[in-house]
Structure 1
Amino acid sequence: SVFYTTEDAAKRPWKLWRHVMGQKQEDDACLYTEEDELFYFSIGKTTSGRFLIASSGSSETGELRVIDLEAGDGSPLQLVQARQFGLRYDIDHIGDSFLVWTNKDKAVNNKLMRVPLSAVLSGQGGQEAWQEVLPYDPSMRIEHVLALKDYAAIEGRQGGLTRLWVLNGTLEAESLRRLEFDEELYEVEVGENKESDTPFLRLCYSSLTTPRTHYDCDLRLAGAESLVKVWQQTVPNFDPSRYTCRRFFAKAPDGTQIPISAVHLKSLFEEDGEKRQPKPCFLYGYGSYGICIDPGFNANILPYLDRGMVYCIANIRGGGEMGRHWYEEQGKYLTKRNTFLDFIACAEHLVEQGITTSDMLAIEG
């Protein structure tokens, strides 16, 4: 079978169709229609390739259905969990279960659960059948899970930075481990992984001083020996050893600690002696829609650095760097004022630390 979607008059995908090869298109079966105009409809597959996922989603609510592609052309579309305002969830397939990452039970940063395939395929896959895999940790934001045959790779955030965790295919909480990297500040994410029956995970890494790099990570190993570099962005005339990164925390008026990532030439402050001399500084901040501004590589700032500037990123509230609450509870609607107070606090902190002065500070956001 071939599955495809069609759009309504507003160009919103809303119908799911099944076409059997060799038959006329007018004989195609409509499997689902998304009538609610607030919901966007899309389809995809689990990493294993066994299940088609039909997703209906709005800004606050999600609803998934699955088709077992190994069950033949007549396999039905099965609902996982009926839509419930404010409940968001996603799934991937591992072994005899679906992994579910969800904000169920007010888990604002999401928690990891599982539900048996047999429950979903028999129409009994609702949240009453979901079982905890990892205890909810409010400091750990789970954003996506990639299920391989014998491992699950968890993308998320902790401590204001992107993180990757690995869980064994047995899904025992004790097997959870975080992938560690040498640099203090970095950006990492799961790359293109087309095969599930493999112990290798393709990941993409960069930092303020390391160009974008693709690694194959052997999940059977630990530490640096597990990483094999397969590609790195070419940046002409760039020598990473000339630069250094550091992290500051500015105190907002309400006492909240706001992270600042900074990069500059190593030699910039070395010539000042015991008393640091302020330098020109470029401070960037965003702080809206839960969007994260991470300390990844950006060749566009190299001309600033090479001319003696300090480049800083302020991870102010309204973004999602410290978790979903950084946006939902502390940086929008009635708390939006925090975004601007945080940015001011970051600028003042850089001046207080002798990094720059108000006359030498440029800002963008």
Structure 2
Amino acid sequence: GVRPRIAETARALWLIYLGLSAAAVLALRVAGMDWFDSLCHTMSMVSTGGLSTRDASIAHYDSAWIDGICMVFMLLAGVNFSLFFAATRGRWKVLWKDEELRVYLALKIVVIVIVTGNILGLQIMTTTGQVLDATIGQALRYAGFQTIALHTGTGFATSDYDQWPFLSRTLLIGLMFVGGCAGSTAGGIKVIRFWIVIKVIAGSLEKSFRPQVVRPLRIGRTSVDEEQKLGAMIYVVLFFVIGAIGAALIGLLEGQAGRNDFLTAMSASLSTIGNIGPGLHAVGPTKTYAWFTDTSLGVMSMLMMLGRLEVYAVAVLILPRFWKGE
């Protein structure tokens, strides 16, 4: 029946989660973390929570090995867990055939390459305050870490990326918005929705100069119907609208307290609705949220709840029909 299969799948996903966690703990311990820090950072990393036991986050350890291990497990945490389930059943080809996973990895690779080139030759300030020259190795290390950490919503930090050039910060903000794969622990709108919207836009543009073309939208081998297209677009719009309202409220509330900063308000709203943590400017990787007014913190708490529950679950509560049972 259905229930045994659901129970079996849930058990398998739990085992996969525990397996990833155990592997991460052991890897971090071997790389030099003590057992306590290894366990705490693993729980924060596999869940893409991002909290650290150290003020300087992962940069505290000043270890390329630890950075690399965190990158691997943050990357895995942003993948659809059902793919791991399929892989444990021997269906390894499913991993590469999954279009969402390919887009997820491609986004990371492209942004890492661009950001690495953008910060190459500059000076990088780590979250410990150390200033380094961005050689090709250092640029790749720090660009790779921050790209993966922010794309998956983990929010760990090794460098003050808020001091990086405009192009790098813009790309990182874009990845914060996209988030990880559906069925992962990551936040954001999810790669699958982002990709559906991109394909819808591309199809509409093609239709403008080739009106006779009828090209069904597919994700892999699966056709995406009109309802699914509409659902993805509505979700993205809702995410933007709620994020904009959040930014406006934060800006207004902090303006009354004499601290009005658009970039801070915008990135704080995006970071909280995406369940990421650090943002830009006054909420950058070396800053905290402690200075906000209580009302602003309340707004951001609501944004975090909305983001974690995928917006729809809470947005539906404001519909009169929901309460009338129609």
TM-score normalised by the chain length of structure 1: 0.26
Greater helix content: 2
Higher relative contact order (CA 8 A, sep 6+): 2
Higher strand share: 1
Work out which of the two has the higher radius of gyration on C-alpha atoms and give 1 or 2: 1
